[in-house]
Structure 1
């Protein structure tokens, strides 16, 4: 895990792969809870029997937005940004989904610091987030996650 205490330390990682998270398995219980939370009960996510018999992947798959929602959890395994008054999830740019996550797949986040800028005291960090599935060469998604940080003086 990388520890970042201020803008200058963050800036020193610009253009570099910061690291990878631990593997996280997405099971049916997590998929079902996400479906309940988002009211998205499409059969390809929650109907195990229909997905097995009629679905293109022969199993249920995780919601794309479920995989995105793991970014904060997995990011915290890669970087510990300290000395912060406030951190804001500002957005995601240029995101493309490339592969499904089947039930019980394990995923891992790879983070690269694309750019760091100081906007009059607010640090804007653009991190290229790539989610990989164990045993699959094609990433689940690649996109630029933007965080805003207000460091303590």
Structure 2
């Protein structure tokens, strides 16, 4: 995976409508799933109860929360792009989100993405809409597909 490096927002804007580099693999561990369950107070047994999962789950392994996969989008995008003039970025929201396939513990994920839209936002800001698909290694269906919207501000 090559990281896209832009000196400033003007260089970044040239990537609107283009496919970004393929993300690097990230392994979803039980420790991550448990931490997400603790943070969100969602301790549903399909995520954290290993004995019950072995007996009752059709997957026979813990599955990650769907919202865990969408929450990884910020990190995955930051791994792909470095804008040297960036002062800060924040999540703005999601236009569309689906979880076509569950993510089993120890699965490896990577991001496929492109930039759908870039708009000016306030002083020194951009509102960017990213087209994101989170691939699960070895599977045809993705873990998550989403239009992710972020705000970024230059120094």
Does TM-score exceed 0.5, indicating one fold?
yes
Gaps (5+ residues) in structure 1?
A: none
CA deviations 1:94-115 (Å, max 9, x no partner) are 1111110001111111121111
| 2:20 alignment partner, SS class | strand
User: What is the CA–CA distance in structure 2 between the aligned matches of 1:85 and 1:79, rounded to whole Å?
Assistant: 14
Relative to the length of structure 1, the TM-score reads: 0.92
- Quick one: which of 20, 23, 27 aligns to 2:22? 20
Give me the whole-angstrom Cα distance separating, in 2, the residues matched to 1:113 and 1:81. Answer: 14
- The CA deviation at 1:11 is 1.7
2:153 is aligned with 1:150 = yes
Which of 49, 53, 64 in structure 2 is aligned with 1:51? 53
| Larger CA deviation: 99-108 vs 53-62 | 53-62
Shift of 1:60: 0.8
The size of the alignment, in residue pairs, is 152
Deviation at 1:4, TM superposition (A): 2.2
Partner of 1:96: 98
Tell whether the 8 Å contact from 1:7 to 1:118 is kept in structure 2 after alignment: no
Q: CA deviation at 1:119?
A: 3.5
Which residue of structure 1 aligns with residue 130 of structure 2?
A: 127
Which structure 2 segments of 5+ residues have no match? Answer: none
TM-score, normalised on structure 2? 0.91
Partner SS for 1:37: helix
Q: How far 1:5 moved relative to its partner?
A: 2.7
Describe the superposition over 1:102-137 as per-residue Cα deviations: whole angstroms up to 9, x where unpaired.
011111111211111223542111111110100001
Q: Comparing 116-125 with 38-47, which one deviates more in the overlay?
A: 116-125
**Residues 1:28 and 1:120: Cα distance change in structure 2 (over 3 Å):** closer
SS at 1:19 equivalent: coil
Contact 2:9 2:85 in 1 (8 A): no
Q: Note if contact 2:95-2:148 (Cα within 8 Å) is conserved in structure 1.
A: yes
